[in-house]
Amino acid sequence: MVEQVQGAGIRVEALAPQFQAQAQQWAARLGLPLVAENAEFAVQFGEDGLQIQQLGPQAPGPVRVDFVEGQAAHRRLFGGGSGQMIAKAVGIAQGVRPQVLDATAGLGKDAFVLASLGCQMTLIERQPLVAALLEDGLARAQGDGEVGAIVERMRLLGGNSIERMRNWEGEPPQVIYLDPMFPHRDKSALVKKEMRVFRPLVGDDLDAPALLEAALALATHRVVVKRPRKAPIIDGPKPSHSLEGKSSRYDIYPKKALKA
């Protein structure tokens, strides 16, 4: 499922001797070395699963996917349920739980929220390292009594989102959700640990217009695009309306009404 990583500067390492076998498996799958002296990043495997650590004296802590504890648990328990803006944006209502394709899944945070509210989710993540973290997080969450049932509603696909959508097989999703990486010029926007680690690896989604075009062609009911609140809309058709929060907004492109 996870493609091999292009480019040097990344090594794989076990955080303890008993995890050496898993580290070797991930190195083989990702096409990365176990030894690289000038590496800028380390993909590490330990008792908490898979994580990415930026190397160097000023580096932030490791990034991993955890659907059971931490931020995901807090949002699941106290995030506001179906009253959340993302729920309204994708069309969740009484008796309506649309099938959603998250075509820019990232670390799966938004997809997990929607799955926890009852949506059947398909996730696409094209950056192989991010997809690996997501796959590992989903696998670990399956064994949890409460969260296991939620991640059962989350199916992960690798590969290029645009190509996947253009060559879709099977029933098309009712709603497609996009959160493209926006070109940040404001230094304060990079403070988040995940952003500091991933921006050198992932870069910006400069093909966002093609992403939107493919999504509009495939979705049966609506496309939702998450943007920074003051960011311009993606080039292409204009959204019919937007839902605006403190730091972000949801641009909504309706095609057909969602019914119970």
Strand 248-254 with 241-244, pairing:
antiparallel
In the chain, pLDDT over 90 holds for what percent of residues? Answer: 71
Residues 181 and 144 occupy one common structural domain:
yes
Q: Is residue 66 part of a domain?
A: no
Specify if 60 maps to a domain: no
Do 142 and 46 belong to one domain? no
Q: Phi/psi at 258 (nearest 5 deg)? A: -85, 130
Residues 178-214 have pLDDT tens digits of 998 766 554 444 446 666 666 667 665 668 999 999 9
Specify whether 101 is located in the same domain as 192. yes
Residue 3 belongs to some domain of the structure: no
Q: Are 34 and 13 in contact (CB under 8 A)?
A: yes
Whether 231 is covered by a domain: the verdict is yes
Spatial contact of 42 and 53, defined as CB atoms under 8 Å apart: yes
Residues 130 and 189 in one domain: yes
Domains contained in the chain, number: 2
Q: How many CB atoms lie within 10 A of CB 14?
A: 18
Question: Is 225 found in the same domain as 106?
Answer: yes
How is residue 155 written in tokens? 């199916």
User: pTM to 2 decimals?
Assistant: 0.90
Specify if 204 maps to a domain. yes
Q: Please give the mean pLDDT across all residues of the chain.
A: 89
The tokens describing 236, both together, are: 């292409």
Question: For 34-52, what is each residue's pLDDT tens digit?
Answer: 988 889 899 999 999 999 9
Annotated binding site for S-adenosyl-L-methionine: 125-126, 179
Q: What mean pLDDT comes out for the span 113-135?
A: 95
- Residues 219-247: pLDDT tens digits? 999 999 999 999 999 999 999 999 999 98
Q: Retrieve residue 57's tokens.
A: 């004296």
Between CA 175 and CA 121 the distance in angstroms is 10
Assess if residue 233 is contained within a domain.
Answer: yes
**How many Å apart are CA 77 and CA 57, to the nearest integer?**
36
In a domain, 92, yes or no: yes
Q: Which of 68-82, 97-111, 126-140, 182-196 is the least confident region? A: 182-196
pLDDT at 60: 85
Q: Are residues 43 and 94 in the same domain?
A: no
- Tell whether 19 and 106 lie within a shared domain: no
Cα distances (Å, whole numbers) of residue 114 to 24, 55, 72, 203: 34, 33, 12, 26
Token digits for 182?
A: 């926006």
* Longest distance between any two alpha carbons in the chain, whole Å: 57
- Give the CATH number for residue 29: 3.40.1630
- CA 117-150-126 angle, 5° bins: 95
Check whether residue 122 and residue 79 sit in a common domain: yes
Residue 85 CB burial class (10 angstroms; 0-12, 13-18, ≥19): middle
User: Any idea how long the chain is?
Assistant: 260
Grouping H, G, I as helix, E, B as strand and the rest as coil, residue 71 is helix
Closest CA to 207 of 177, 234, 176, 240: 234
The fraction of the chain above a pLDDT of 70, given in percent, is: 87
Assess whether 250 and 219 both reside in one domain: yes
pLDDT at 117: 95
Binding positions: 125-126, 179
Residues 78/41, Cβ–Cβ less than 8 Å: no
Same domain, 88 and 212: yes
Give the domain CATH number at 91: 3.40.50.150
* DSSP string computed for 187-223: GGGG-SHHHHHHHHHH---TTHHHHHHHHHHH-SSEE
Say whether both 89 and 39 belong to one domain.
Answer: no
By residue range, what is the domain housing residue 14?
10-54
Specify whether 85 is located in the same domain as 35: no
Q: Which residue has the higher pLDDT, 152 or 8?
A: 152
- Mean pLDDT over 76-92 rounds to 87
In a domain, 185, yes or no: yes
- Distance between alpha carbon 69 and the CA centroid of its chain, in Å? 17
Instruction: Give the per-residue pLDDT at 188.
Output: 45
